[in-house]
Structure formats: structure tokens, C-alpha cells
Amino acid sequence: EAGVAQSPRYKIIEKRQSVAFWCNPISGHATLYWYQQILGQGPKLLIQFQNNGVVDDSQLPKDRFSAERLKGVDSTLKIQPAKLEDSAVYLCASSLGLGEAFFGQGTRLTVV
């Protein structure tokens, strides 16, 4: 069974630029999550989708972050404009409903 795929693995951008991350969940998983993991901290949930609907985006900084999951499969997370404090690893995870969440390898973003 293929795992959660994310791309790119690494990204370096200047502040005020925009960036997008892509996630392909495990086939058949209806629930998809985006987490932000700042160095030295545990992951923090940014947004949770159930199929193509948003279940929880209470911790998503909506003035600069956006996410979509068209057709209920792949998802993209965008940051525009990026700030220095957005430097982090962005983890995508998926699950069958409320079951175990499987994580991708993450995208490491560095904002300079």
C-alpha cells in the first residue's frame, strides 16, 4: 500500500514570496490533515478535511494560509505571503474516518 506522498521535500523562499505544498493521501482515505511542525515543537494541526469539506481550520492563519482539497483526494496548502516564522516542516496525514492517521515525510520550508 502506497503511503502519503508529499512534494516538494524541501523549499527555500524569501519572505513575502508565496509557496505551495502538495499532498496525495492514501487511496480511499476520506480524512486529510495538514500539520505544521516548528523545530523543537510537536506538530500543530492547521486544517482537517473530510472528503472535500473542511472539518477544522481553527488554527489556520487565514490571512496568509489557504488550503483546498478539490475532488476529495489531493490537497494543496499555500502560504502567501510567507513570513520568517513560517519556517517549519509541513506534514500531511490521512486516515480512514477517525482511525489511525498515517503521515507523509513532510515538506521542510525555510523562509529567509
Positions touching other proteins (CB under 8 A) are 4, 31, 33, 40-45, 48, 55-56, 91, 93, 95, 97-98, 100-106
- Which residue lies nearer to other proteins by CB, 42 or 63? 42
Q: How far, rounded to the nearest angstrom, does the alpha carbon of residue 82 sit from its chain's CA centroid?
A: 15
Query: Taking the complex as a whole, how short is the minimal distance between the CB of residue 81 and other proteins, in angstroms?
Result: 27
Query: Taking the complex as a whole, how short is the minimal distance between the CB of residue 16 and other proteins, in angstroms?
Result: 28
Query: CA–CA separation, 27 vs 63, rounded Å?
Result: 31
Burial per residue of 22-51, b for 16 or more beta-carbon CB atoms within 10 angstroms, e otherwise: ebbbbeebbbbbbbbeeeeeebebbbbbee
- Which residue lies nearer to other proteins by CB, 22 or 103? 103
